[in-house]
A and B are shown apart, each in its own frame.
Chain A
Amino acid sequence: MSIVGLEKNTGKTECLKYVLDNLPVERKRIAVTSIGIDGETVDQVTRTQKPEITLREGMYFGTSEMHYRQRRLVSELIDVSDETTSLGRVVTARALTGGKILLSGPSSGSSLKRWMSDMRQHGIDHVIIDGALSRMSSASPAVSQSMILATGAAYSANMTTLVQKTAHVVDLVNLELTSERNVNRLAPLEKGVWFIDTDGALHDLNAMTSLSQEIHFDGVEHCASLYVAGALVGTFLDKVRKHKTLRHAEIVVRDFTKIFVTPQQYRLFVKGGGRVSVLQKSKLIAVTVNPTSPTGYVLDSDLLCNRLSEAIGLPVYDLLKNKECN
């Protein structure tokens, strides 16, 4: 499971802390790591105080050599990886007492996946990933099965905008899976732009990415699904929306982390009869809010929870108030 923040200071680390405090370590083997540098005592960007991560006895963790040396707990070393990050190699250890640790794990999605498969060999039941700022990649279903999204006043101090922007991300996370037949046929295609016609035949549109200015939809008649193997960008979505026959077609992307469109572009596209679906989907478990922005602005917690919960149809928590609002 990954925990992703929409902005610095949206309470991601608080959320991680809450999760770690409440997991049944006696019954399950839990490992925790972070993608990229995180867990610093003071936020490097805004200089505000950040909670440290407290591990419980028996938990496994992956962090950098540098942060391992600064640990404030007793732990047993299990592995030292060959991969080097800016803070040294990634080391894996098991906490022998509870205590505090700075987390900074593998620096890329692929090395994170490697680390997770190593963890499986150690009999780990659950891996919790502290996702870094603007690094949705750790939340990709290719890496983690489920996610918690942290949002808050730091993302937008205007409640209406905050709700809309968060709802947009939630919409993308919750995009429906495409048909099983499409999944089987499209998953092996790693690049390019493709379409499947109503007879089920697959065609290459001969474009490297959806960014390409050269994409021509000439001859794309009877299109059932368009598939963008890489990033789906707004200009492409606009082009499809304005096309007279394609506008009702389904656009398939690998997963929600590949979508880079503004809420407006997406709304217009859906309004025009378009639909985006995914090959892989991760389960959004909950959304947490931090009503306080680093500039000191505070939103009404109850009102925010209620409005957001209403907009997304999921439970929303303000963990500092430690209460649920459905």
Chain B
Amino acid sequence: MQLKNVIESPCGLRFMLDKLELQSGFARRWLLDSPMMTRAEEIVASYQELHCFTDFLQRVDTLYINTLCHKLCDLKDIRTTIRNLYQGTVLDDIELFEVKHLALLAADVKKLLAQHGMDKAVEIPDLDEVINILDPDGMKIATFYIYDSYNDRLKELRALMRRHPDQQDELLLQAGEIEEEVRTKLSKRLHPFATAIEQAQTALALIDVDVARARQVQDMGLCFPALSQDGTSQYDDMFHPQVQEALASRGRSFQPVSIAYGMEPTLITGANMGGKTVVLKTLTLCQWLFQFGFGIPAAAARIAIKDEIHFCIGDDQSVEKGLSSFAAEMKNIDAVIKASRENKKLLALIDEPARTTNPTEGAALVSALLRVLAGRDMSLVMTTHYDIEPGEARCLRVKGFENGSMDYTLVEVQDGEAPHEALNIAQSLGIDSEWIDQARALLQAAPGKNNHC
């Protein structure tokens, strides 16, 4: 599982990546290709590194960081050239230029980081020998051609060229043969450094990514998560950066939510517009961010590692694929059930399953799903509007509509009964009273437990 496979997840991961101030296109590609981390050691190491970079950002001034970023801008994708180097192909001038450019850049960045003791945070291999090979005159400038100093005869031929432009074509031909000999020798000498050159390229991309992630931690007020060993995850004052930004643009603020879930199913009920879907989105987002080593949008977080993350939300794309929203949803949840039979640490976040069908069958489907998944070794967080028997599930409820405003706080309740606030909320939205009053009257006339209003 690579970042690029989940980047379009409706949880808002794309927004976080777009907000990342990466300097080079290569770093972006490298990040998108990076695999999801599932081992505790690598996640811990990744956050230690990020911590190191956030501290570093606080120590250095703007001028220094701009210089570093400016340098990282120059990082190019030379993977094709490196591949040719591994294979022992004779590199052409453009490829030799790319290698020299990268080697000089790596040396520059290394020197710059060493000023603040950061050269050990990400190890950049020493490419001095590569620079020596490609910079015979010791100019330390990132330009390249087959220098005169590589071969005396070449030097003579070029001098002749300048003196006798009329013989240039013949002289170029002779010089061309010598140049090719030089390239062959250079490529042979560079071949042993292929691994170091590749490592340097990766290290520079990683530094770019680390600086960007550290800046994001500062800019968005993200936190470093603790690693949970017991399968439970806990978030204090969690927020969704994209929703927060959208609200801020309308002059409104985001109310952070605290939530914890463990290995028993968690059922979230609550009024419409109570932010249940946003909670699920944020939980999904946080889990991905955690396993790709980003800062977490919460005041504090303790997160368990998962092998697979399933986010099931009715999305419009499935309709374009020719599936009805119900069919698409059933297939997504089916994948969760199948995955839950395998021996994997699973997190499933399911938003209002079976919402598009009739309430009788819908409630039955949701109750059954809860029973099926309750027995499995997995974490499940599910929202619903249906009144269902919670069984072993923990029930959380959005506090809801109080004194004319929405309180998004989640409180633990004993049963899974859905709150009946739809009419009040509709009224507060200014919906036509002829309609709402009729509905109220119908509810009062009807028998049974629906009779709350």
Contact = CB atoms under 8 A, between A and B. Distances in A.
B158 A97 contact: yes
A226 to B, nearest CB: 34
Interface string B192-211: 00000000000000000000
B161 A97 contact: yes
Interface stretch (B93-101, B125-133, B262-270, B415-423): B93-101
Given A76-B143, A77-B143, A80-B94, A98 B158 contact: no
Contacts of A69: 92, 94
B71 interface: no
A74 B76 contact: no
Given A96-B145, A97-B158, A97-B162, A77 B93 contact: yes
A80 B76 contact: yes
Interface string A74-114: 11111010100000000100101111000000000000000
Contact of B168 (A78, A80, A94, A97): A97
A75 B172 CA distance: 12
A72 interface: yes
B175 A74 contact: yes
A130 interface: no
Interface in A187-220: none
B94 A76 contact: no
B165 A98 contact: yes
A77 B94 contact: yes
A146 to B, nearest CB: 30
Contacts, number: 47
A120 B191 CA distance: 36
Contacts of A57: 162
Interface string B171-183: 0100100000000
B144 interface: yes
A176 B161 CA distance: 50
A68 B94 contact: yes
Contacts of B93: 68, 77
A75 B158 CA distance: 11
B117 interface: no
A65 interface: yes
Interface size class of chain A, counting residues whose CB lies under 8 Å from the partner chain: 10 to 19
B25 A77 contact: no
Contact of B145 (A72, A75, A80, A99): A75
A1 B161 CA distance: 30
A91 B94 contact: yes
Interface centre among B92, B143, B169 (most CB of A within 10 A): B143
Contacts of A75: 145
Contacts of A78: 143
Contacts of B162: 57, 97
A99 B168 contact: yes
Contacts of B158: 74, 96-97
A229 to B, nearest CB: 26
A98 B161 CA distance: 9
Contacts of A94: 143
A82 B25 contact: yes
B344 to A, nearest CB: 39
Contacts of B97: 77, 80
Nearest to A91: B94
A76 B172 contact: no
Nearest to B171: A97
B89 to A, nearest CB: 15
Contacts of B77: 82
Interface string A147-167: 000000000000000000000
B145 A77 contact: yes
A76 B148 CA distance: 11
Interface string B141-173: 001110000000000001001100100110010
Contacts of B98: 80
Given A77-B143, A80-B98, A82-B76, A99 B25 contact: no
Interface in B71-122: 76-77, 92-94, 97-98, 101
B92 to A, nearest CB: 7
A292 to B, nearest CB: 28
A77 B101 CA distance: 10
Given A69-B94, A82-B77, 9 more contacts: A73-B168, A74-B158, A76-B144, A76-B145, A77-B93, A94-B143, A96-B145, A98-B165, A99-B172
The 6 closest A-B pairs by CB, nearest first: A77-B97, A76-B145, A77-B144, A76-B143, A97-B161, A78-B143
11 contacts: A68-B94, A69-B92, A72-B172, A73-B172, A74-B145, A74-B158, A76-B143, A77-B97, A82-B77, A97-B161, A99-B172
Interface of B: 25, 76-77, 92-94, 97-98, 101, 143-145, 158, 161-162, 165, 168-169, 172, 175
Interface of A: 57, 65, 68-69, 72-78, 80, 82, 91, 94, 96-99
